[in-house]
Amino acid sequence: MIFKLKKLAKRLLRSVFNAIIHLSIFDMNKKIQVQNQRCFPQSSSIFAVIILVIASMQNASALPGEDADEHRLPYDNSNPVIYDNDWSNDYVDWYLMALASAGDIRYTGISTSSSIPPYNKHMTAEHLEKQVKARREIARRGRESGFRYVPDPVAGTIGHLKKPASGLISDTKPLDSPGSRQIIKQARRATVEKPLVICVGGPLTVVADAYLLDNSIADKLIVAFLDNYNGGMYGFNGWSDGWAAYIALEKLRLVQFTVESKSAAWIPKERLFELPASPARDFMIASTPDVAAPEGDVDGPPAIALMRPDYVKKIKRVSFGGWRNRNGHEMPMFKDDPQGRAIVVTEVDRNVATDEWFRAMKNLKAWQKTPRFPARAETKSNP
């Protein structure tokens, strides 16, 4: 609502400005015609302003500069940030720690969540526990490398939310978890004007679970989510908890980035040698990135948008458009809806993401300890 009011105000100001310009021309011509009679239009000027403002408002969508507002997201680095993911093999963990350490963001929480078998055969309970421990190790390595202001990672939800027989969100039984409670705590500290942003690289379970536990936080959250496709939430992350995805779409402010839009920063192993010698760099070099972007930060796009509004080139507004079924999982689809609250980012500038990731990771302010950058001869070049 605030976003729409701001846009309407901008259109009104442009309309008044255009009306004044047109009126000036009108008055000038009129003065030329009647200057010998010393008769200048007065009430007619006011009437002309009203008519021109109305006409300009009707054509406001075509005014120059409007496109810039059309793809601006409802969050930036002034919002408090929480991060949740399933697997721990993405570079976004390190990027967010670097931003926090440099004072670029207020980083308020980290959690690890996933569905498990039999619903999700790709993440066993044992594997999920390993990811929780790995994310704690990432935080430890980050602090050891000199990163400051790193929150203590907590366990998020284990399992998925089950669609009730009634089909009503209000009848859904929450799971509850430290990660869910962390979101509630930080959302209560946020405001509607400056909501909490939750960057999610896995299923939306922990976010939906927090909402089920406390509905009052809905307007104080923005869910910045990564899935595969522009047409719905039927990629791996949406598939991993389709009912949680539906709750986020229907009840929360959702911004979805997609693999389809080639959104990941390009981070080949060779370029990691450009970073300071540190436990952080050693961990990243030894890790195996996500298969969706073996030389990129596949889950990083929601975080990149915190710092770089120019990263996003096109968006569309959507709402719930029905269900898609795959392997017994129901997943929400989108329908284009200019009045929809949910946003899908359909085009980005991947070069912006790459430049931003390396800028943050090389920022001297991020490293509390004096970083030892590799000598020029040691730096490996891009292939």
Quote the domain boundaries for residue 44.
2-70
> Does 115 lie in the same domain as 64?
no
Task: Pick the closest to residue 280 from 377, 369, 383 (CA basis).
Answer: 369
Task: Pick the closest to residue 107 from 61, 139, 133, 131 (CA basis).
Answer: 139
Q: From the centroid of its chain, how far is CA 311?
A: 11
> Does 204 lie in the same domain as 92?
yes
Residue spans of alpha helices (H) in 110-159: 125-145
Note whether residue 47 is domain-resident: yes
By three-state DSSP, how is residue 198 classified? strand
> Does 227 lie in the same domain as 136?
yes
* Residue where a domain terminates, one of 70, 100, 123: 70
Note whether residue 279 is domain-resident: yes
> Does 49 lie in the same domain as 127?
no
In which residue are the tokens 């922990």 written? Answer: 206
- Spatial CB neighbours of 17, under 8 Å, sequence gap ≥ 6: none
Distance CA 162, CA 38 (A): 80
Cβ of 210: how many Cβ atoms within 10 Å?
31
Note whether residue 285 is domain-resident: yes
Each of the 383 residues of the chain gets a pLDDT tens digit; together they read 444 444 545 554 454 444 443 434 334 343 333 333 333 334 444 434 333 333 344 443 333 333 345 678 999 999 999 999 999 989 999 999 999 999 999 999 999 999 999 999 999 999 999 999 999 999 999 999 999 999 999 999 999 999 999 999 999 999 999 999 999 999 999 999 999 999 999 999 999 999 999 999 999 999 999 999 999 999 999 999 999 999 999 999 999 999 999 999 999 999 999 999 999 999 999 998 876 667 889 999 999 999 999 999 999 999 999 999 999 999 999 999 999 999 999 999 999 999 999 999 999 999 986 555 555 434 443 33
The total number of structural domains in the chain stands at 2
Q: Which residues pair with 112 in a beta bridge?
A: 85, 155
Note whether residue 303 is domain-resident: yes
Burial of 187 per CB tally in 10 Å (0-12, 13-18, 19+): buried
> Does 213 lie in the same domain as 327?
yes
Note whether residue 376 is domain-resident: no
Note whether residue 371 is domain-resident: no
Q: Are 251 and 220 in contact (CB under 8 A)?
A: no
> Does 172 lie in the same domain as 247?
yes
Q: Are 331 and 233 in contact (CB under 8 A)?
A: yes
Q: Which residues pair with 85 in a beta bridge?
A: 112
- Spatial CB neighbours of 44, under 8 Å, sequence gap ≥ 6: none
> Does 95 lie in the same domain as 200?
yes
| E strand or H helix that includes residue 356 | helix 350-362
Q: From the centroid of its chain, how far is CA 170?
A: 26
> Does 12 lie in the same domain as 161?
no
Reported pTM: 0.80
> Does 214 lie in the same domain as 108?
yes
> Does 336 lie in the same domain as 225?
yes
* Residue where a domain terminates, one of 36, 70, 104: 70
Token representation of residue 15: 């309309």
Task: Pick the closest to residue 281 from 198, 192, 172, 366 (CA basis).
Answer: 366
In which residue are the tokens 């509390």 written? Answer: 368
Note whether residue 383 is domain-resident: no
CATH number of the domain to which 248 belongs: 3.90.245.10
> Does 96 lie in the same domain as 62?
no
To 5 degrees, how large is the angle CA 308–CA 184–CA 186?
A: 50
CA-to-CA separations, 67 to 14, 39, 72, 139, in angstroms, rounded? 14, 43, 9, 40
Note whether residue 372 is domain-resident: no
